[in-house]
Amino acid sequence: MSSTAPKRRILVVGEGLQTEYNYFVGFRKAFEKELEATATSVTVARGKGGNASNIVQKAINEVKKFKPNRKRGDRVFLLLDTEGAGRAPELSAAENLAKKAGIEIVYSSPAFEYWLLCHFKKIPRTNFKDCAAVIVALNKVWNVCVQDYDKADQEVFVRLSDSFDVARAQALEIDLHHLKTIAAARCTNPSSQVYELIAILIGVKTGEKCPLTGTWILVGDTVTVQLNKGDRVPPHNMVAVCWRL
């Protein structure tokens, strides 16, 4: 895609002040070239926590400042935890509020830390009570620095960047397992659909498994291919390429 083409603007809003914000700021810096290739500009905003509807309302406030141009392809995503049983009754109202505002929710169940855990191989796939339980499991494998995991760690993406592809592949495999066994992945404990957002931002490459069902466009061209979730991403003219949504 031409670097002079109008960029679609993506706003990513975290649930809280630090963890999601720090991760996606690091991601944006590391993938500047890939974002440029897909003509994508990423803005990352902090949340304030609270109940699910309050988190969505904070995202709505960010949308008002962001002023997305939907015709150009601008989109807004909110990273939201399902947490434990206490938050479950809040999610339906929050989902409806977000939909009205044009905000797409990206769930992690029970918490964003499960996405971080996906960066490590052979992780637990059994239910976690809450975010604290995920952090306990995360600290058992947290070999990327001398200290335990810290929600305020500004270098969290850098620490995990070497296993970024592991996280994307593993989170997808977990969702494919859920879809096969219970026919649902979104909000299923444990899971995280952050890998879907990543694919929307930077696309997918030949040989990977497709993370989202849809019509994928060859980066730098207008050629399209219809892929289902879990399909192997094809080459183009026998050449390895990148496809975008």
- Residue 9 pairs in a beta bridge with 41
Q: For residues 18 and 31, what is the distance between their CA atoms, to the nearest angstrom?
A: 20
Q: For residues 227 and 64, what is the distance between their CA atoms, to the nearest angstrom?
A: 34
- What are the tens digits of pLDDT across the range 111-167? 999 999 999 998 999 999 999 999 999 999 999 999 999 999 999 999 999 999 999
Helices assigned H by DSSP within 38-112: 52-66, 91-100
Q: For residues 48 and 59, what is the distance between their CA atoms, to the nearest angstrom?
A: 9
* Residue 4 pLDDT exceeds 70: no
Cα 127-201-153 angle, rounded to 5 deg: 60
How many alpha carbons fall within 13 Å on the CB side of residue 117?
27
- What are the tens digits of pLDDT across the range 14-35? 999 999 999 999 999 999 999 9
* Order of strands, sheet of 75-81, starting from the edge strand that comes earlier in the sequence: 40-45, 8-13, 75-81, 103-109, 191-192
Q: Could you tell me the two tokens for 187?
A: 């909000």
Q: What is the CA radius of gyration of the chain?
A: 18
pTM metric for this prediction: 0.95
